[in-house]
Each structure stands twice: as C-alpha cells, then as structure tokens.
C-alpha cells in the first residue's frame, strides 16, 4: 500500500507485503525513552481493533496538533498487557501526534486503516466487533513481537536475568532487604509461574516487578521489598524503558508455554482480586488455587 504518515516523533507506514503497520520511532531529547528502546515495531493489522483521530493543544500561540491513535486488540501486544494502563499518554506507542498542517493526511491514513481492518474492526478475524476498540474479542495469542531473551534488568535491590526458561534474582548487597539477602539468590522456572506483575516506577511510591507463582502456597509477601519473587525499582533503577519490555518478554514466554484467552495483567493493591479472577477464568489457576488465594487476600484486605 505504501502509505506513510510522519508525526512529531515517529513515522507510521503501511506494509502491504506483511499486512501490518510499521512504526519507526525517532531518537531525540523530546522522544520518550521507551520509544528509544523500542526502536521500531511492526503491528499486524489483526492486532488492531480500531483507530481514532482527535486534536490536542500544542501550546500557547500555536495551532492544535492532530492525534492519531491505533487501538490495540486486547491480548495482542504483551507490552500493553504488561503496562495495564499505567503508561503516560505521551509514552503510548500507539499514539502519533501530527502537526496541524498534516491533518488531512492523518485523516486519510486513519480512513485507510479502518478500511483495512474491515467492518468488524479487526483485520482478517471473524466474529470480532468494535471498530474503535469497544468490545473486540481478546486475541488467542500475542501478535506483536517484544525483545527476546536472554535479557537482564537492573532493579534497586537486584539484578534480574531471564534466559527464556527461568528468571534469576541476584540480590544487591546494598539495596536488598535483610530478608532477601539472608535468603540468597533466587531462581524461578517459567513452568512454575502464572504471570508477572509490573508496577511502573513512575507511580507514587515507586514500582516493582513481581513474579506470580502457580502454586498458591507461594503467594506474594505483603510488600515487594520482602517478596523473594519481586524486584523493587528506585531512582535510576528499573526505569520504564528498561523494565516494561523485560516484563513483556516474560509474559510473551509464558503465553508461548500456555496459550490462553488473555494474559495476566499487572495489578496493584485494590485490583488484586480482579487479577486473581482473570487468572482463574483463563485457566492459569484451578478452582482450589483460586479459592485459597482469594480467601488469603480477602483476609488481608
């Protein structure tokens, strides 16, 4: 198709050969560091459920800019699944800000994308509805590529390594709590995990990466700094552009092991019970495991 749309910090291009949209992120001081880390992403059309076009104020004395946003299909992109709505709007990799003088080009690009997606809103997928993303059925597998292992992540209290089959926590002598340091380094086989919880370091109180075990007897500790399956983020440690792709890679590996209708999303505090319900509904927790964990978390609420 060859259609190209250049925005302020990225270029989107239709690729007819692969039936996808290729997003190339620019490198610059105003470009989010997450986009620097991503470099470029190929988004298959079947991973999208719609597209929206709007406007945003561009600053005092300047004309409004046009915002085009592709709507990812639930369960199609491990990066967005891991983020679970925690990304700042300015960091959204599916959002393209276009100068006002290219408004017509943005509208034409969006219309072409809608036509490619078809009347049901998802390209090449039957029985899926929601042209602008509303009510689109979750993808049965991840469709968007993420970084592949081996990978490492430097958190405040640990260095986390993922080799594709297991994750290892090497505790920091200066950052780790005494409980973690006494317990020693930890290794978790992917087969023993049900999911991963990523809490953005940009959120109040900081963030963390926590592995969620399949065995309810190995449930998470009260706080990440004492949980042997969690790494705590801090200033300069576990930044979004480093920790989110890492978490997405773990999710992608888990999905490859056990295909499910939707992948466990990161959740925080009051949303933990909803997270358990998702694990149960997708088959990653048995009835007995679900009831045990639900009772535990309810009792600790």
Give the model confidence (pLDDT) of 71-125 as tens digits: 999 999 999 999 999 999 999 999 999 999 999 999 999 999 999 987 655 554 4
**Quick one: which of 146, 180, 176 has its CA closest to 164?**
146
Please give the pLDDT value at position 174: 94
* C-beta contacts of 265-273 below 8 A and 24+ residues apart: 265/81, 265/82, 265/84, 266/82, 266/83, 266/84, 266/86, 266/196, 266/197, 266/198, 266/199, 267/84, 267/197, 268/197, 268/199, 268/203, 272/297, 273/297, 273/298
d(CA 185, CA 160): 10
Tell me: the pLDDT tens digits for 28-40?
888 999 999 999 9
d(CA 73, CA 56): 24
Written as six digits, the tokens of 281 are 């509904």
How many residues are given for the chain? 301
Count the Cβ atoms, other than its own, within 10 Å of residue 144: 23
The half-sphere exposure of 273 on its side-chain side, counting CA atoms within 13 A, is 10
Which residues sit opposite 195 in a β-bridge? Answer: 212
Tell me: the pLDDT tens digits for 133-173?
455 789 999 999 999 999 999 999 999 999 999 999 999 99
How wide is the angle at C-alpha 235 spanned by C-alphas 9 and 38, nearest 5°?
30
Please give the pLDDT value at position 162: 98
Any residues with CB less than 8 A from the CB of 62 and at least 6 apart, and which? none
Does the structure show a pLDDT above 80 at 202? yes
Please give the pLDDT value at position 287: 73
d(CA 250, CA 38): 16
How wide is the angle at C-alpha 146 spanned by C-alphas 279 and 126, nearest 5°?
65
d(CA 27, CA 32): 9
d(CA 297, CA 220): 10
Please give the pLDDT value at position 265: 41
Tell me: the pLDDT tens digits for 24-72?
999 988 899 999 999 999 999 999 999 999 988 766 556 789 999 999 9
The answer to whether the pTM exceeds 0.85 is: no
d(CA 10, CA 5): 9
The strand pair at 20-25 and 40-44 is best described as antiparallel
Does the structure show a pLDDT above 50 at 126? no
Q: Measuring CA to CA, how many Å separate 19 from each of 237, 294, 301?
A: 38, 43, 47
Please give the pLDDT value at position 152: 98
Question: Residue 264: is it exposed, middle or buried by C-beta count within 10 angstroms (0-12/13-18/19+)?
Answer: buried
* Region 254-261 average pLDDT: 66
Unique residue bearing structure tokens 């190929």: 42
């Amino acid at each position: 198709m060859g259609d190209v749309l250049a925005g302020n910090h990225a270029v989107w291009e239709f690729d007819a050969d692969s039936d996808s949209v290729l997003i190339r992120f620019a490198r610059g001081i105003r470009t989010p560091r997450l986009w620097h880390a991503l470099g470029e992403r190929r988004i298959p059309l079947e991973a999208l459920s719609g597209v929206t076009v709007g406007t945003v104020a561009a600053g005092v004395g300047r004309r409004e800019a046009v915002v085009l946003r592709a709507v990812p299909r639930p369960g199609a992109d491990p990066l967005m699944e891991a983020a679970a709505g925690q990304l700042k709007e300015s960091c959204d990799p599916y959002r393209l800000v276009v100068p006002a003088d290219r408004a017509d080009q943005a509208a034409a690009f969006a219309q072409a994308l809608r036509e490619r997606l078809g009347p049901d809103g998802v390209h090449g997928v039957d029985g899926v509805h929601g042209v602008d993303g509303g009510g689109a059925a979750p993808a049965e597998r991840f469709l968007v590529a993420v970084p592949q292992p081996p990978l490492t992540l430097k958190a405040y209290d640990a260095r986390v390594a993922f080799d594709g089959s297991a994750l290892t926590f090497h505790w920091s002598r200066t950052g780790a709590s005494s409980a973690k340091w006494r317990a020693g380094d930890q290794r978790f086989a992917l087969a023993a995990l049900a999911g991963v919880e990523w809490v953005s370091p940009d959120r109040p109180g900081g963030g963390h990466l926590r592995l969620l075990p399949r065995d309810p007897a190995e449930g998470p500790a009260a706080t990440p700094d004492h949980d042997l399956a969690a790494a705590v983020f801090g200033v300069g440690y576990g930044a979004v552009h480093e920790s989110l792709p890492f978490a997405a890679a773990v999710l992608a590996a888990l999905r490859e092991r056990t295909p499910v209708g939707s992948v466990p999303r990161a959740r925080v505090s009051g949303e933990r019970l909803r997270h358990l319900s998702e694990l149960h509904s997708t088959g990653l927790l048995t009835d007995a495991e679900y009831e045990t964990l639900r009772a535990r978390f309810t009792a600790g609420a």
